Structure 1
Amino acid sequence: MALRFIGIDPNTGTGESPTVWFDESMNELIIQGWKPGSELETECAAFEVPGHASGIPDHEAVVRVPARMVPILREACDAAERAELR
């Protein structure tokens, strides 16, 4: 695994650190965020997407990141896109 740090929540304080990395070997974004409350997780699990089963598979998770991290997420997406072009 070749993780490249992209950014951390600019309002990070002690005990809170939503973070974004780019895994160069897998060409994947890695996102650390807050665990959602059970109400949000239930809502996400119930959301129906055509062609997909409802629910959240055991090997997947829902995380929350603040909207102020959009520039960091955009940078991570750009890194992933550049990697695909190589």
Structure 2
Amino acid sequence: MKLTFIGIDPATDTDESPTVWVDEEAEDLVFQSYTADDETVATCARTQIPGHSSGCPEGEGIFRVPFRMVPMIREACDVAERSHRRRLAQGGEDVSGSS
């Protein structure tokens, strides 16, 4: 797996480092950030989403990403989208779920 580093929260010191990467092969965004507190996790678990069970499935997590990272997340989305389009142009399968 090759991750493309996009950015790190500029307001953090060396011990805290919310970060965003793109896995261009899988076309996924990869985040490192703060684990959500118990209240946030409980609130998310109570949220009813049509067609889905409540709670957080095993293998998934709830975390917070600082708002100041929005520009980096947008850039990561652009990188992933370019990877997806490049793969389609090379005859790859569309696995995005969009029509």
TM over 0.5: yes
- Greater relative CO, 1 or 2 (CA 8 Å, sep 6+): 1
1:17-68, CA deviations, whole angstroms, 9 ceiling, x for partnerless residues?
0000001121100001101111101111111111111110111001111100
Please say if 1:12 is aligned against 2:12.
yes
Equivalent in the alignment of 1:63: 63
Q: Which runs of 5+ in 2 are unaligned?
A: 87-99
Identity of aligned residues (%): 53
- Structure number with bigger Rg: 2
How many residue pairs were aligned?
Answer: 86
Please say if 1:84 is aligned against 2:91.
no
Deviation at 1:14, TM superposition (A): 2.9
Matched residue type, 1:81: E
Q: Which runs of 5+ in 1 are unaligned?
A: none
Deviating 4+ runs (over 6 angstroms): none
| TM-score, normalised by the number of residues in structure 1 | 0.95
| TM-score, normalised by the number of residues in structure 2 | 0.83
| Cα RMSD, aligned residues only | 0.8
